[in-house]
Copies of this chain bind each other. A is one copy, B any other.
Amino acid sequence: MGRWQPGARERLVIAAVDLFAEQGYDATTVAQIAERAGITRSTFFRHFPDKREVLVAGQEALSRLLAEGIAAAPPDATPLAAVALGLQRASSVFGPLNHELAPRLKAVIAANAELQERDALKSVGLAAAMTGALLERGVPDPVARVAAELGVLAFKLAFARWSEGTRRTGAQFGRLAVAALDELRAASTALG
Contact = CB atoms under 8 A, between A and B. Distances in A.
Nearest to A192: B78
Chain A: number of interface residues, binned into ranges:
20 to 34
Copies in the assembly, this chain: 2
Given A117-B117, A117-B120, A149-B150, 19 more contacts: A78-B191, A79-B190, A79-B191, A80-B192, A116-B124, A117-B118, A117-B121, A120-B120, A120-B121, A140-B190, A142-B183, A142-B184, A143-B191, A145-B153, A145-B187, A146-B150, A146-B153, A149-B153, A185-B191
Contacts of A135: none
Interface of A: 77-81, 116-118, 120-121, 123-124, 140, 142-143, 145-147, 149-150, 153, 157, 183-188, 190-192
Contacts of A120: 117, 120-121, 123-124
30 contacts: A77-B192, A78-B191, A78-B192, A79-B190, A116-B121, A117-B117, A117-B118, A120-B121, A120-B123, A120-B124, A121-B121, A123-B124, A142-B184, A142-B186, A143-B187, A143-B190, A143-B191, A145-B153, A145-B187, A146-B150, A146-B184, A146-B187, A146-B188, A146-B191, A147-B191, A149-B150, A149-B153, A150-B191, A188-B188, A188-B191
Contacts of A146: 150, 153, 184, 187-188, 191
Contacts of A121: 116-117, 120-121
Contacts of A142: 157, 183-184, 186-187
B192 A79 contact: yes
Contacts of A117: 117-118, 120-121
Contacts of A191: 78-80, 143, 146-147, 150, 185, 188
